[in-house]
Structures are given as structure tokens and as C-alpha cells.
Amino acid sequence: MRITFYETAGGRRPVEEYLRSLERPERARAAEGLQNIQRFGFEAVGVQFRQIRGKLWEIRIQTGEAHRFFYVMASREEMVLLHAYRKKTQKAPSREIATAERRLKEVLHGAED
């Protein structure tokens, strides 16, 4: 499976920026989780997947802290990481979901062109 990152019109990649902001050990564990997804798809070890709403899904990677990555499957083999955040509460904050859904619409609209 191929993982790509959502990119803003200005060329920013917010999920990559989030990953770079992590402390080195956390960043390494998160990168390992994402590499496992690329190698083994939905059978990756140490990673959990959960549907949020419609085509919006969530990846949970335990790195000592709980990190969440929202994604959409742009095609059968391409996962687009839309948004990432550090989970601090039981439920995903609506602000985080709204950000991911806004980006999801951009990705799907671009895919239709």
C-alpha cells in the first residue's frame, strides 16, 4: 500500500509537519507504524484502524503517547494521510474531525477532476 500526504494549495504537508514536530523516539515509532502499513496494509502489527464517518478513517499508533492520523483511501492502493494530532481525551475532538473532513473533501474533489 502506498501512503501519501495531503498537501495544501500552498504546498504545505501538515501531517509531515506534525511528524517532524515529535520527539525523536516518538517520531521513529510513528514512522515505523506507517512503514508497516506500507508493507503489510491493514494487517500491519501495532496499528489499529477505525472508521470515523463515511470515507474518513483513523489510524491509531501507540508510540508512548496516543497519536491519531485521519486518512482516506484515494484508491485501492493509495492511503492519503489528511490530519494528525495527539489524542488527549477519550473521544476525537470535533475540531480535529472537521479539519480532516475539510481536507477529505479537497482530496475527493481533486480525484474527480
Predicted confidence band at 113 (pLDDT cuts at 50, 70, 90)? very low
Contacts of 66 (CB under 8 A, 6+ apart): 60, 86, 87, 88
Most confident of 19-23, 59-63, 90-94: 19-23
Q: What is the pLDDT of residue 112?
A: 46
Most confident of 9-18, 87-96, 102-111: 9-18
The chain-wide mean pLDDT, for the chain, equals 90
- Over residues 31-78, the pLDDT tens digits come to 999 999 999 999 998 899 999 999 999 999 877 778 899 999 999 999
DSSP 93: P
Q: What is the largest CA-CA distance in the chain?
A: 41
| Alpha helices (H) along the chain | 14-21, 24-40, 94-112
Answer yes or no: are the C-beta atoms of 45 and 62 closer than 8 Å: no
pTM summary value: 0.89
User: Taking CA 68 as the corner, what is the angle to CA 70 and CA 32, rounded to the nearest 5 degrees?
Assistant: 100
- Over residues 53-64, the pLDDT tens digits come to 999 999 998 777
61 closest CA partner among 70, 73, 74: 70
- The three grid cell numbers given for residue 12, joined into one nine-digit string: 504545505
Q: What is the pLDDT of residue 71?
A: 98
